[in-house]
């Protein structure tokens, strides 16, 4: 009955005008306008948030691509180079003759790579991340940088140990054993074959004491071949001296630590690359 009355009333134009003039109808109209305004504001806010998110993602993607194409390849290449030195026992080289042996594992090699990249900063020879907007980069490169900083510390200590070998006097016990090895290898004329004998003794002592048995590869063929054939005996002769043995042991410990540092850094960098690729960031 109520519905019928409303329909009959609405069919009359004068009745419609009367109904629209009721206060409760006017209130409903204001509420509708308010709801519409709120809804529009929500849409605008959400659109703004989405645009900001897209802009942030765009910046992150651009930064990631720059780091991935510029810095990461250099870091990986340097780690692979260091691993090669360690794996091939050639972390020392004789540069410009036997008087200038050089450690190929340089403490600042990673600092030199990241110094010009504004995602990092270097303070007191320690690397820090300053770009942390990307969580993947922050977590995995952060871990890699921690390992690289440990590498720097261990490489400095290795450098100090190796230089102590370079600057030390060759022990008499090693000279005696080395001459015996030379005699058995080349006969009584070994002093002429390995001439100058002082160079021979200096080279084999550094090689045997540090464990870098492939350090001397460009020089006297006789010395190169002797080291290859009789390295184990030369190494044992070097360790016969207590101080030489102590330094040699410490060098090997540092080499293992360095290998662990760069391996950990490499693994974290690879994880970062994989995450970036899987998330279509690069």
Residues 109 and 12 in one domain: no
Residues 124 and 158 in one domain: yes
Tokens representing residue 51 in the block: 């645009």
pLDDT digits (tens, 9 = 90+) for 30-72: 656 666 666 666 655 555 555 445 445 667 788 888 999 999 9
The residues of the chain scoring below 50 in pLDDT are 1-11, 16, 20, 24, 51-52, 54-55
Stated pTM of the model: 0.79
| C-alpha to C-alpha distances, 230 to 88, 97, 122, 161, nearest whole angstrom | 17, 22, 45, 24
Q: What is the reported pLDDT for 74?
A: 97
Find the DSSP H helices in 88-188.
109-114, 135-136, 142-166, 172-186
Residue 185 included in any domain: yes
- Quote the DSSP letter at residue 119: T
Residues 25 and 157 in one domain: no
Residues 217 and 128 in one domain: yes
Residues 119 and 241 in one domain: yes
Q: What is the reported pLDDT for 63?
A: 86
Instruction: Give the chain's domain count.
Output: 2
Tokens representing residue 10 in the block: 């609405």
pLDDT digits (tens, 9 = 90+) for 178-206: 999 999 998 877 878 877 888 889 999 99
Residue 94 included in any domain: yes
Residues 179 and 104 in one domain: yes
Per the CB < 8 A criterion, the answer to whether 104 and 85 are in contact is yes
Residue 25 included in any domain: yes
Q: What is the reported pLDDT for 248?
A: 96
Residue 34 included in any domain: yes
Residues 151 and 257 in one domain: yes
Residues 49 and 94 in one domain: no
Tokens representing residue 148 in the block: 């690289």
Residues 114 and 219 in one domain: yes
Residues 145 and 196 in one domain: yes
Residues 143 and 8 in one domain: no
CA distance 270 to 147: 14
Residue 274 included in any domain: yes
CA distance 190 to 177: 14
Residues 41 and 86 in one domain: no
Residue 58 included in any domain: no
**Residue span of the structural domain in which 27 resides:** 2-53
By C-alpha distance, which of 161, 171, 183 is closest to 237? 171
Residue 112 included in any domain: yes
């Amino acid at each position: 009955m109520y519905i019928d009355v409303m329909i009959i009333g609405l069919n009359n134009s004068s009745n419609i005008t009367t109904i629209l003039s009721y206060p409760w109808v006017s209130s409903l109209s204001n509420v509708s306008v308010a709801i519409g305004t709120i809804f529009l504001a929500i849409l605008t806010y959400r659109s703004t948030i989405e645009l900001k998110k897209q802009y942030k993602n765009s910046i992150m993607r651009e930064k990631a691509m720059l780091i991935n194409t510029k810095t990461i390849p250099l870091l990986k290449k340097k780690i692979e180079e260091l691993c090669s030195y360690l794996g091939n026992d050639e972390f020392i080289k004789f540069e410009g003759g036997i008087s200038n042996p050089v450690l190929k594992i340089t403490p600042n090699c990673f600092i030199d790579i990241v110094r010009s990249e504004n995602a990092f900063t270097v303070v007191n020879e320690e690397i820090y991340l300053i770009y942390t907007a990307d969580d993947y980069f922050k977590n995995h490169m952060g871990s890699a940088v921690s390992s690289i900083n440990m590498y720097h510390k261990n490489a400095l200590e290795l450098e100090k140990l190796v230089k102590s070998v370079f600057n030390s006097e060759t022990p008499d016990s090693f000279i005696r054993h080395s001459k015996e090895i030379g005699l058995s290898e080349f006969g009584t004329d070994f002093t002429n074959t390995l001439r100058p004998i002082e160079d021979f003794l200096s080279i084999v002592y550094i090689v045997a004491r540090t464990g870098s048995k492939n350090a001397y590869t460009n020089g006297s063929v006789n010395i190169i071949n002797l080291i290859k054939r009789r390295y184990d005996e030369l190494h044992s002769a070097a360790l016969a001296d207590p101080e030489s043995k102590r330094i040699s042991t410490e060098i090997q410990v540092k080499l293992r630590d360095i290998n662990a540092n760069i391996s950990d850094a490499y693994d974290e960098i690879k994880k970062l690359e994989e995450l970036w690729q899987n998330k279509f960031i690069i």
